[in-house]
Amino acid sequence: MKLINGIMMPVLPALIACGIMNAPVSILSSAGALAPEDGMYVLLHAIGNSCMYFFPVIIEASAARFFGMDAYIGAVIGASLIHPSLAALSTSGGSIDIAGLSIPAASYASTVFPAIVAAWFASVIYKGFKKILPEVVGYAIVPALTVLICAPVSYLVIGPVVNAASGLLAQGILAIYALNPVVCSLILNPIFGLVLIPLGLHWALVVVCINNLVTLGSDPILGLVCNGMGVVGMMLAYAYKESDPDKRSLGLSTALTAFCGITEPALYGAILPNKRMMLSSVLSGIIPSIIPALFGTKAFTMAGSGIFSFPSYMNPTGDMNSLIGAVLTNAIGFVCGFVVTVALYKFMPDKGSNAAEAQAA
């Protein structure tokens, strides 16, 4: 988890920025205001997809820094995976002939896992050369030898193996989703909100989601857990029912941050320390968990959370089912979160608080 956090956190702002840039393209093209051949469409589409296309460069630079290697050397190795000549060879179905071996050319644009594994391998080679070569020649020789060894190995060995494993991972997740999306969502949502996010384990799913977006063009996991407004409703109810001014202030402030996509303050400050709020999180999420499964809601790009997440559910084909499912889920989730929390405050009085108040009196 330290590895995933250390590599993914620095690149998420860039990824989200490009994801949000895709929003006007989707909106305008769906409305018929832009056509794919229009200059503005070409420009905005290029900007919005630049991060994902060059993701091996970005992610490998971040991974190289995490593994203790020069980030620019990592970026060069990542760039070598998507060089235009190799990409063109892959598109035409060509192969690379080396020492009598014919290896099919592959495209690693937008990939995630090959770049991370390649960065780890490069860091081992880089540190090894740093130890054995004197510093006077190491400044130039170590980077050159690292790239010379790691770039071909990354393209010819690491890339194909890791890409195959990534494909199996994506297929496995879709197979579980296909068995019963509703059951999958009912199980995933409470675990995601009450276990994975507080422990930071949700970053593992984020990597899988990005991999799905790259290999499949969409991701069902982000669609199933799209009910961010449920936390907003819960925290407004918390502020409404609590008499303590500090708790009311906590409820209002965390409702605002949750509306903008940051739910950790609400989780740590009010939901996890309060059994009533934890139960409300589970109960109020039942209906909103079913809706995206029924609508087949999927994310088609990475975007922000909360109110900023809706553009990611816009299908480039113009099919609005995913977006409708996401909007309904969040609207109903907000109402359920508020109503269930208020009801639990009525039927589950806080005995600890009452006892403390009685003692103070």
For 158-207, give the DSSP string: IHHHHHHHHHHHHHHHHHHHHH-HHHHHHHHHHHIIIIIHHHTTHHHHHH
One domain for residues 199 and 306 = yes
Mean pLDDT by 10 residues, the chain (361 residues): 75 76 72 81 85 88 94 94 86 78 78 88 95 87 94 90 76 78 83 68 72 82 88 93 89 87 80 87 89 91 79 86 93 94 84 47 41
C-alpha distances out from residue 290 to 195, 278, 304, Å: 20, 19, 22
One domain for residues 185 and 160 = no
One domain for residues 124 and 151 = yes
Look up residue 89 and give its two tokens: 């060879």
**Residue 10 forms part of a structural domain:** no
Q: Tell me, what's the pLDDT at 285? A: 87
Cβ atoms of residues 300 and 213 within 8 Å: yes
Q: How many structural domains is the chain composed of?
A: 2
Cβ atoms of residues 154 and 81 within 8 Å: yes
Cβ atoms of residues 111 and 214 within 8 Å: yes
- The reported pTM is 0.66
Q: Tell me, what's the pLDDT at 360? A: 45
Last residue of a domain, one of 159, 177, 195: 177
Single-letter code of the amino acid located at 325: G
What does the angle CA 30 – CA 34 – CA 37 come to, to the nearest 5 degrees? 120
**Residue 13 forms part of a structural domain:** no
Closest listed residue to residue 302, CA positions, set 228, 238, 219, 241? 219
Can you give the residue range of the structural domain that contains 95?
A: 54-177
